[in-house]
Amino acid sequence: MKNNIKILIVSTVALACTFDAPGANVNIGLVNGDFESPSIGTGATFNSTTAPTGFGWTIASGEIDLLGASYWQPASGTQSLDLSGYFLPGSIYQDFVFPSAGTWVIKFALSANPDFTWQGDGQGAGVKNLRVDFGIPGQMSSLGTFGVDADSRSIWDMNWVIITTPELLIPDATTYRLQFTSLVPGAAGPALDRVELQIVPEPSVAGLLLVLAVGGAFHQRRLKRA
């Protein structure tokens, strides 16, 4: 169906509407989660042997495009990725340690290449999927496959969607790997920006005491009436 934004979620996933205030959390735990480094100008294509210094992510396979705001609208900052490069779908990962134990989610901005430079070849049409894998290197599993439709998008209005992964219970300072893999061959793939880690607040002690107090008062009233 054209002109409908389709969001494919093969997992239990919550969608958030907005990020936190600009700049918040972007550099917690991850390096270059906003893909602002290195400053690339209009854009360039990289593979595992040409990944630029300062990129912070390992290109595991295929190709990616690092694109500036003069090419298309980023979700955050001035740069973002097309996870499919010139010919090949790309896969990038980063090994990192969560800043603390606790319950965390990973958030990222997702769009789809609307086929700017090759308009008319059909590559900018349809849903552009990527898969998110996470875990200890060698023991990873999928957090889901996510995609949005390129048909309703343009380089001036990328209509970035914020994806939030399922909650991850992190017990300690283990090194984990986060990997994004394009499932789209050719030059127009899923677009990725602003990857960040966000801790899930635990219910506060004051809140729990309030719940207990209200419950206790209600129970007492019932006893008096009985």
Task: Note whether 33 binds Ca ion by CB under 5 A.
Answer: no
Task: Note whether 82 binds Ca ion by CB under 5 A.
Answer: no
- Residue numbers 36-75 binding Ca ion by CB under 5 A: 74
* Shortest Cβ 102–Ca ion spacing (Å): 26
> In the 3-class helix/strand/coil scheme, how is the chain assigned residue by residue?
CCCCCCCCCCCCCEECCCCCCCCCCCCCCCCCCCCCCCCCCCEEEEECCCCCCCCCCEEEECEEEEEECCCCCCCCCCEEEECECCCCECEEEEEEECCCCEEEEEEEEEEECCCCCCCCCCCCCCEEEEEEEEECCCCCEEEEEEEEECCCCECCECCCEEEECCCEEECCCCEEEEEEEECCCCCCCEEEEEEEEEECCCCCHHHHHHHHHHHHHHHHHHHHHC
- Residue numbers 164-193 binding Ca ion by CB under 5 A: 193
The residue range among 4-12, 79-87, 91-99, 165-173 that interacts with Ca ion, by the rule CB under 5 A, is 79-87
Residue nearest to Ca ion (CB): 77
Task: Note whether 196 binds Ca ion by CB under 5 A.
Answer: no
- Between residues 110 and 170, which has the closer beta carbon with respect to Ca ion? 110
- Between residues 27 and 145, which has the closer beta carbon with respect to Ca ion? 27
Q: Which of 19, 26, 34, 182 binds Ca ion (CB under 5 A)?
A: 34
Contact set with Ca ion (CB under 5 A): 34-35, 74, 76-77, 79-80, 193
